[in-house]
Structure 1
Amino acid sequence: MSTRALTYGPVQFPNRLGIEQFQFDRALRLGLVPGADLAGGRWSAGVFEAARQRREEILARVGDQPDLGAVRSAEVLQERLGRPVSSDAVSELGRAEALPIVGEYKGRPLYCGLAVDEFEDLAALERAERDGRLLTRDQAAVHLRIRPVDVDHLIRTGLLRPVERVRGRFRTWVSLYRAGDLTVLPGWLAEAGLDWEAVRATPPGQPSPLADLPSEADLLT
């Protein structure tokens, strides 16, 4: 009578190995454990035994920090680096791939806990704090030193795009704009021949110099 060879699924493998699911997923991501070698996404007993013999090495490499959202990542970085860290900066580090995004939870990015634990680049963090601040339309106007109606024209033309939308009062959606995009915009428009200082100098009630720019929809037709 033959005995069916023991195999392991993606939950059984880490359970029998005595490691957390996130550690197993990270070990797979880092190539410390090979992908499933059997049909149906399962691992053979031989692969499991090889991993069991390397268990301590695998644990040392994957760390013990689960993958984290932006708020919790900021808290961990702040405690470890001894300086304030905002969730906006974490999101910016994710956009720059300085903190790898490895998944999501309820539609929000999850950042690699190992990378958060190992992050040391204070210069990159400074840039992320500066460029990654998210501003509302009115805050964007203050940042650019123009009127909100001028910001509306930048949005209409597609020259300014939100990087995120969040729920505001009365369950309305509020668009948020990245400070780094706002900072480079005046120089880019000036190089394109637009008198940016004239935009800034336009008094209340007067038409915006940006009003004649074609809308994004017009450019696509």
Structure 2
Amino acid sequence: MTVTITDSTITSDRTTDRADLAENGQWVLSWMPTRRIHHRPAREAMVMADRRLSQLGPRQLADYLVLDEFQVRRLPSSAPWGRDAAAAIAADIDTILPTLGTVPDVGSVRATTVLTERLGIDVTGDAVTELGAQGHLPIVGDYKGHDVFCGRALETFDRPDLIGPAEETGRMLLIDDVAAELGVRRSDADHLVRAGLLTVHTATQTRWGTWIYRYRRGDVLALLDDSRIDWDTVRTTPRGRRSPLAALPTATTA
């Protein structure tokens, strides 16, 4: 490596590219003179410039342009990038940068943090999942079976009025909670699942190998409008008596 670092410059014997100290302790790269960056990324960018690679992959281009790797992957052109392509992106960086966003595509846990900070209200994972299902937060992929949400949509999301309703309909309920929500016995709720009128929304396995099943509250509430069920009769059936729901055909043999 031929990079030389002084108090005010970072230079190289292999290229005319350089970094110079600007105001407030920030640095300017010769190939992106309109940006102000900190010392460490300026040094890493100069190291990449010094290498004079003919082709740059996503991580290398991220160092050269002082971007996060997820931002590089959002560029319209695809890897690898030649030197001319990298130089063209650098020359147009002020136009390109706003389109790349500052939030990566993330799962529901990180998405709740982003939205909570952005909106100033508590946002739960259930609400995020529901907003994704409703199309308000685009789902761009999955990781180990979990949805991944669009980072650009998260950082521009401006509908706090949707959070409460999404939390209410998207809340995950255990089977006992389902029974309480409907005002019926636990065995009645089991019959709804057996008959396929209520399906599992998420299933997680404990460290002991048992499974925990959760049901979406919106699906539970929708059952109240099911014409096949006489809810008054179900609710007034005494304990110990056969549930009217027991007559429902089992889903696998219906």
Correspondence for 1:209: 244
Relative contact order (alpha carbons < 8 A, sep ≥ 6): 1 or 2 greater?
1
- Identify which range, 146-155 or 77-86, moves more after superposition: 77-86
Percent identical pairs in the alignment equals: 40
CA distance in structure 1 between the aligned counterparts of 2:191 and 2:61, rounded to whole angstroms: 56
CA distance in structure 2 between the aligned counterparts of 1:203 and 1:121, rounded to whole angstroms: 46
CA distance in structure 2 between the aligned counterparts of 1:178 and 1:55, rounded to whole angstroms: 44
Correspondence for 1:76: 114
Shift of 1:67: 2.7
Correspondence for 2:55: 7
Residue 56 of structure 2 aligns to which amino acid in structure 1?
Y
CA distance in structure 1 between the aligned counterparts of 2:188 and 2:92, rounded to whole angstroms: 61
CA distance in structure 2 between the aligned counterparts of 1:132 and 1:171, rounded to whole angstroms: 26
Shift of 1:89: 0.4
Task: Give the structure with the higher percent strand.
Answer: 2
Shift of 1:96: 1.5
- Identify which range, 61-70 or 156-165, moves more after superposition: 61-70
Shift of 1:131: 0.4
Shift of 1:86: 1.1
Shift of 1:171: 4.0
Correspondence for 2:189: 151
Correspondence for 1:53: 91
Residue 176 of structure 2 aligns to which amino acid in structure 1?
D
Residues 1:79 and 1:43: Cα distance change in structure 2 (over 3 Å): closer
Residue 229 of structure 2 aligns to which amino acid in structure 1?
L
Residues 1:76 and 1:10: Cα distance change in structure 2 (over 3 Å): closer
Correspondence for 2:135: 97
Correspondence for 2:66: 18
- Is residue 2:154 matched to residue 1:116? yes
List per-residue Cα deviations over 1:110-156 (Å, max 9, x = no partner): 32222222111123222211101000000011011111111111111
CA distance in structure 2 between the aligned counterparts of 1:14 and 1:104, rounded to whole angstroms: 24
CA distance in structure 1 between the aligned counterparts of 2:81 and 2:116, rounded to whole angstroms: 40
After TM superposition, the score normalised by the length of structure 2 is 0.71
Shift of 1:197: 1.6
CA distance in structure 2 between the aligned counterparts of 1:206 and 1:98, rounded to whole angstroms: 45
Residue 67 of structure 2 aligns to which amino acid in structure 1?
I
Residue 141 of structure 1 aligns to which amino acid in structure 2?
A
CA distance in structure 2 between the aligned counterparts of 1:175 and 1:150, rounded to whole angstroms: 16
After TM superposition, the score normalised by the length of structure 1 is 0.81
Correspondence for 1:132: 170
* 3-state SS of paired residue (1:74): helix
* Count of residue pairs the alignment pairs up: 202
CA distance in structure 2 between the aligned counterparts of 1:6 and 1:151, rounded to whole angstroms: 64
- Identify which range, 65-74 or 89-98, moves more after superposition: 65-74
Structure 2, unpaired ranges of 5+: 1-52
Correspondence for 1:67: 105
Q: What is the root-mean-square deviation in Å for CA atoms of aligned residues?
A: 2.2
* 3-state SS of paired residue (1:84): coil
CA distance in structure 1 between the aligned counterparts of 2:160 and 2:55, rounded to whole angstroms: 46
